[in-house]
Structure 1
Amino acid sequence: MTSSRKPNRRGEGAKLRPEIVAGAAAVLEETGSEDAVTLRAVARKVGIATPSIYGHFDDRDQILLAVIADAFAELDAVLVAATTDVEASDHLAAACAAYLTFATTRPHRYRVMFARHRTGEAGSMNETRPTDELVGAAAFGRLVDAVARHPDTAGGSPLEPAVALWVALHGYISLRDAVPAFPWPPEQAMLDDLIARILRPTTTRESA
C-alpha cells in the first residue's frame, strides 16, 4: 500500500533523502529480507514515484549502505543515552545491555549492518580506536570508553578487551538468532560473566 505523502515545497527536495532511507529500513524490518528492499518497494513505502529516487541514489545498493550508516549512527545514540548519568563503574554493563537491546529490537537491520558492510581492512585500527572514517567507529568508540572507565581495566589499554567484548556480544546475538531453542542463560547473568571473564581473565580462571 502506498503511503500518503505531501510533496515537498520548492527547495525542500533534500528532505526526501532521509525519507527514502527510513522507508528502506522499514521495508527491511517488515519483510526481514534484504532482497525485498527494491526501488519500487521503497518508493511505495515513501509514497513517491520510483524515478524520484534517482535524484538521491543511483541504485538500491546505495540506499542499503545509507540504511547501514544510519543504523550505526542510531546505535551510537543508543549507547550514549544508555550511559548518560551512569556511574563510571556501571558504564560497561549499561552499554552492553543497550547493544543487545538494539540488536534484538532491530534484528534485520542489525544483521545487514554486519553481513553486508565491510568497515575496513585488517590493521585499520590505531592504538586507541578505529579510524574516524570507518562506519561504526563512533559506536565502537563508546564501548572502548566504557571499558576504559571500568575499574577492572586497571589502567591498561582498553582496546583489546573492547574488541573481545564486541566479538562476544556479536557472537551471542548471532548464535541466539540462529539457535533460539538452545537453553541460553539469563541475559544479565551472561553479560556479567562475559565482562568478568574478559576484563579479569586470570582472576576468573583461578576462582573457577
Structure 2
Amino acid sequence: MEVQQHRTRNRRGEGALLRDEIVAAAERLLEREGDEEALTLRSVAREAGISAPSIYSHFADRQAIIEAVLDIAFERLRRLVLDAAEDASDPVERLLAGCQAYAGFAMNDPARYRVLFGRQAANRLQIAPFTDLGALPEIWERRLAAFKVLVDALAACVKAGRSASTDLFADATTLWTSLHGAVTIRQFCPGMPLPPLDRTVDDLVRRIGQIRP
C-alpha cells in the first residue's frame, strides 16, 4: 500500500515560506519534466508535499504559479547575463559575453527558455507599442530587465566609439530576436548543419551591433 507523505504544517507567519516552497516545487517539476504542461495544481502540491487546496492561500490558480516561476526565471537570466560580462573591461567584449550567456541559457535550460519565450497563450499581456523601457507596466519592466542590459551594453559600445548604431532600441531588438532565432532553430532542428553557436552569436553581435574594430 502506498504511504502518502505529508508536509509538516507551517507555523503562523510562515506563509511566505510556503509560497516559496510551492514555487520551488514548480521549478523542480519544470526542470524534471521539461514541459510546462506538467505543472498542474495537483502535481505541484504533490511535489511540495502539501494538499492541493493549500495552494489557494497563496496562488489563485495554476497560471499564478507559472507567473511566479516566470518572474524568477527572468531575474535569473538577467543575473546570468550581467555576471558573464562582469569581468570584461572592453565594452564590445561585455556585449559579446552577455549575448553568449543568453544563448547558453537557452541551450542549457530549454524548458525554462520555452516558458519564457515560447509560450502561446497565457503570457500575452496587451500593451501599447513602445520604444521607452521606462514607460512599461511593472510586470514587463521586470521581465524586460535582461533586454535592458542588452540595450545598455550596446549603448556602452556606442559611447566608446566601438559601435555605429544610431538607434539603440531598434538594433538591440533586432539583435535579441536574431539570437532567439539562432537558438530556436538549433533546438528544433538539431541535425541541421549549422555553424557553432558561439560563432553565430559573435557574428550577429558584430553585424547587427555595427561593431567597429
TM-score, scaled to structure 2: 0.84
Shift of residue 28, structure 1, vs aligned partner: 1.6
- Is residue 68–residue 113 contact of structure 1 (8 Å, CA) maintained in 2? yes
170, 177, 186: which one pairs with 2:196? 186
CA 1:75–1:132 in 2, change beyond 3 Å: closer, same or farther? farther
125, 128, 139: which one pairs with 2:146? 139
1:10 counterpart residue number: 12
- Give the gaps of 5 or more residues in structure 1: 204-208
Shift of residue 13, structure 1, vs aligned partner: 1.2
- Is residue 165–residue 209 contact of structure 2 (8 Å, CA) maintained in 1? no
CA 1:38–1:198 in 2, change beyond 3 Å: closer, same or farther? same
2:127 counterpart residue number: 121
Shift of residue 114, structure 1, vs aligned partner: 2.0
CA 1:20–1:110 in 2, change beyond 3 Å: closer, same or farther? same
The answer to whether 1:196 aligns with 2:196 is: no
166, 169, 182: which one pairs with 1:172? 182
* In 2, Cα distance between equivalents of 1:115 and 1:20: 23
* In 2, Cα distance between equivalents of 1:189 and 1:34: 31
Shift of residue 33, structure 1, vs aligned partner: 2.1
Runs (4+) off by over 4 Å: 1-6
- For residues 48-197 of structure 1, what are the structure 2 equivalents within 5 Å? 48-87=50-89, 88-116=91-119, 117-118=123-124, 120-126=126-132, 131=136, 133=138, 134=140, 135-150=142-157, 151-154=161-164, 156-197=166-207
Q: Letter of the aligned partner of 1:131 in structure 2? A: L
* In 2, Cα distance between equivalents of 1:155 and 1:111: 30
The number of residue pairs the alignment matches comes to 201
Identity %: 43
* In 1, Cα distance between equivalents of 2:42 and 2:78: 30
Between stretches 51-60 and 190-199, larger displacement belongs to 190-199
CA 1:50–1:113 in 2, change beyond 3 Å: closer, same or farther? same
Between stretches 138-147 and 18-27, larger displacement belongs to 18-27
CA 1:68–1:182 in 2, change beyond 3 Å: closer, same or farther? same
- Is residue 20–residue 43 contact of structure 1 (8 Å, CA) maintained in 2? yes
* In 2, Cα distance between equivalents of 1:47 and 1:195: 46
* In 2, Cα distance between equivalents of 1:2 and 1:80: 43
1:41 counterpart residue number: 43
